[in-house]
Structure 1
Amino acid sequence: MIQNVQILPRNEAYWQDNEWKKLLSTAIRDPNELLRLLELDIAELPYQLDKDQSFKTLVPLSFVERMQKTDPSDPLLLQVLPLSEESIRVSGYSNDPLGESTALAQTGMAGLLHKYQSRVLFMLATHCAVNCRYCFRREFPYQENRASKQDWHQLATYLKKNPQINEVIISGGDPLAVNDAYLVEFVAFIEQIPQIIRLRIHTRLPVVIPQRVTSKLLSLTKSRLQMVMVMHVNHPNEIDDKFTSAMHKLAQAGFTLLNQSTLLKGINDCPKILSELSEVLFSAKVTPYYLHMLDRVNGAAHFAVSNKDANVIYKQLQANLAGFLVPKLVQEKSGEPNKTLVDLTI
């Protein structure tokens, strides 16, 4: 006989803290469905879709809602839509443009990169909320580099053997794709290592799903660690009221908020667009930090902007904006001990 069991109702805070998971679970995974939602006829597009799609389509509806219907050149759409150009192999491009396989081998630990002297990067997650077509890790072998909770002690050992390290950067994938309990536990673990003073989170999830900014995420600032969150926003159209509200909550909680963008042909390779991006980011309490040249990963060559064109754009950006709104124009080079500033004399 089944006895009556009292089921306690979940409160509003529970639903608010878990809404992002539902939004992630309903993300679009079919480019044809994405086009249908935007009222675009595939037969009338000025480009062709990639039929192979070794790098799958993934885009949350909350990001799709910011795209302009009937516009095949929408800058948000072009960041996530797989095009036939992705199958073209271009000289100088590779599956591992930053030499991360070598860096991983040097640490001897799954998901741990130590490219820069005072900081390490740890891949806390192996998946994202959105698959950006220009991603330098689009060909990364995540299954071979999946770090689990059992690996954390190995991470701690590595940090203690390298006392010059004072910052842990969590990346992936997207580190905010893990649940809050896992994230809180990881922060508590890192907090126990005295030499670490700062935790940096690189993420695009609050951009595409602002509801990811939950009460538990905000509570991370109670840690003794300095908390830095670096957003990945490329175009002002990505910023809406929900994103701005989420950033205000993070800033009020005590996060230092930065942004890094990638300079992308046909999307933001324009001083006016980049100037507007810096202004709206700063209004949302996010400081423009880096403007990256494209990492030369296979499948992304059609996004490349030449150094010559980048210099013209950047000089105009400097003329348009106050100095604190101008991100550094940089390129990451395999084996270098730091990001390389792009030479503006070219």
Structure 2
Amino acid sequence: MIPAAPLPLQPAPAPAPAHDPAAATPRWQRLWREGVRDPRELLRLLGLDEAAAGISDAAAAQFPLRVPRGFIARMRPGDLHDPLLRQVLPVPDEARIVPGFSLDAVGDAAAKKADGVIQKYRGRALLVATGSCAINCRYCFRRHFPYADETAARDGWAGAVAAIAADTGIDEVILSGGDPLSLATPKLAELTARLAAIPHIRRLRIHSRLPVVLPERVDDAFVEWLSALPWPVAFVIHANHAKEFDASVDASVGRLRRAGAQLLNQAVLLRGVNDSVEALADLCERGYAAGVMPYYLHQLDRVQGVAHFEVEDERARELHRQLAGRLSGYLVPKLVREVAGDPGKRPL
């Protein structure tokens, strides 16, 4: 059990008056707005000294801090090296210019098919449904992505849907972002209704961190939408450490599973977060206990500002070898790297 934080992170709000328009706002949206955006507030909530933490205002200005209070509640107060805190705290290392680290590490720009549509692999098209996220992960490979110019929502999804409809070789659509679950459920329903008119789409895949960092997002309206989709759905969540799971996350992924989604987890290998066989084994076992199959363990995408998270390939392979010797085969994720221009993820 993680000790309680020194300050209340999610106090129960007083009931809204019946005439209050906010009463009609879904709870997950209210919790999203109440998330922490000031690094100093985050440190105060965890009882950490600002000077010792060495936060970077420049890094926060370039890529703002954003983290839900429920996720902060899973961090260990007083621990500057907490693996969840390390994923969100802006630090001076982000300003280092390191050779080999670029603004577009995975070749998104070269794979553009239409506004908000990226196609790198045969048969699959990725929809950049939104640029919004409930949490800004410091290692994000799209931290420099031009979301203002590249969004599938433009013109009511018309251009993106038309591009997919015109290519009969596409049989799987991947909703990504940002985080597609940052869209309100009616907006998601609008998108999938447009996609449902395309006869050659056979599968839908959703990539989202919200069931982990803001589990309240998986509410009744969302489950109703998910259950009614006309395709098999693979739902890929993103957790990097076993501490990211708690009872609220178990409940959210349970609801996804009961709605018929196949649940997978992808993680990123991160120095100082999960770069030990113990941490990786705990993650795989904890996710499986919640009903989520390990899928990918990604080597870090080499985007500018994240080099301090990198684990060398030789060390990554050794960790994966040890993991395979420790866990049942179905609990071991594939160790991969995304390389621009490759026809699929590259096994390591």
Is TM more than 0.5 here? Answer: yes
| Alignment partners' CA distance in 2, 1:9 and 1:168 | 41
Aligned twin of 1:140: 145
Q: State the SS of the aligned residue for 1:128.
A: coil
Deviation of residue 339 (structure 1)? Answer: 0.3
Structure 1 residue aligned with 2:68: 60
- Report the RMSD for the aligned CA atoms in angstroms: 1.5
- Tell me: CA distance 1:147–1:155, structure 2 relative to 1, closer, same or farther (3 Å): closer
Is the 8 Å Cα contact of residues 221 and 227 (structure 1) preserved in structure 2? no
Quick check: 2:152–2:159 contact (8 Å CA) kept in 1? no
Shift of 1:156: 3.0
Q: Residue 43 of structure 2: SS of its match in structure 1?
A: helix
- Aligned pair 1:188/2:196, yes or no? no
Identity %: 42
TM-score scaled to structure 1, two decimals?
0.91
Matched with 2:80 is 72
1:257 aligns with 2:259: no
CA distance in 2, matches of 1:214, 1:198: 23
Alpha-carbon distance between aligned partners in 2 of 1:310 and 1:142, rounded to the nearest angstrom: 31
Q: Does 1:126 align with 2:131?
A: yes
- In the TM superposition, what whole-angstrom CA distance separates every residue of 1:126-185 from its partner, at most 9, and x where no partner exists? 110000000000111111113325252322332233211101001111000010110112
Question: For structure 2, which runs of at least 5 residues remain unmatched after alignment?
Answer: 1-16
Correspondence 1:39 to 2:21: no
The 3-state SS of whatever aligns with 1:308 is helix
1:248-290 deviation line (CA, Å, top 9, x unaligned): 1110110111110000001000111111111111111111000
2:273 maps to 1:280:
no
Deviation string 1:22-77 (CA, Å, 9 cap, x unpaired) is: 110011111111000000012233xx222212011111101000000000000000
Residues 1:83 and 2:115 aligned together? no
CA, structure 1 residues 52+250, in 2 after alignment: closer, same or farther (shift >3 Å)?
same
Contact 2:115 2:159 in 1 (8 A): no
Q: What SS class does the counterpart of residue 115 from structure 1 fall into?
A: coil
Which letter does structure 2 place at the counterpart of 1:242? Answer: S
Q: Distance in 2 between matches of 1:95 and 1:154?
A: 26
- Number of aligned residue pairs: give it: 326
- Is 1:169 aligned to 2:177, yes or no? no
Which of 116-125 and 221-230 deviates more? Answer: 221-230
Q: Provide the C-alpha distance between the structure 1 equivalents of 2:229 and 2:217, rounded to a whole number of angstroms.
A: 19
Q: Does 1:28 align with 2:36?
A: yes
Match of 2:314 among 308, 317, 325: 308
CA contact (8 A) 2:152 2:160 kept: no
* Residue 221 of structure 1: how far off its partner (Å): 2.2
Q: Which runs of 4+ in 1 moved over 6 A?
A: none
User: Which of 157-166 and 117-126 deviates more?
Assistant: 157-166
SS at the partner of 1:223?
A: coil
| TM-score, with length taken from structure 2 | 0.91
Q: Which residue of 1 aligns with 2:332?
A: 326
Q: Deviation per CA, 1:84-108: give whole Å up to 9, x if none.
A: 000001000011101111212xx1x
**Is the 8 Å Cα contact of residues 81 and 133 (structure 1) preserved in structure 2?**
yes
Matched, 1:338 2:344: yes
Residue deviations 1:202-227 (CA, integer Å, cap 9, x gap): 01011111100011221222221111
AA matched with 2:96:
I
How do residues 206-245 of structure 1 correspond to structure 2 at under 5 angstroms? 206-219=211-224, 220-245=226-251
Does the CA contact (< 8 Å) of 2:130 and 2:147 recur in 1? no
Q: Which residue of 2 aligns with 1:96?
A: 104
**CA distance in 1: counterparts of 2:317 and 2:261, whole angstroms:** 32
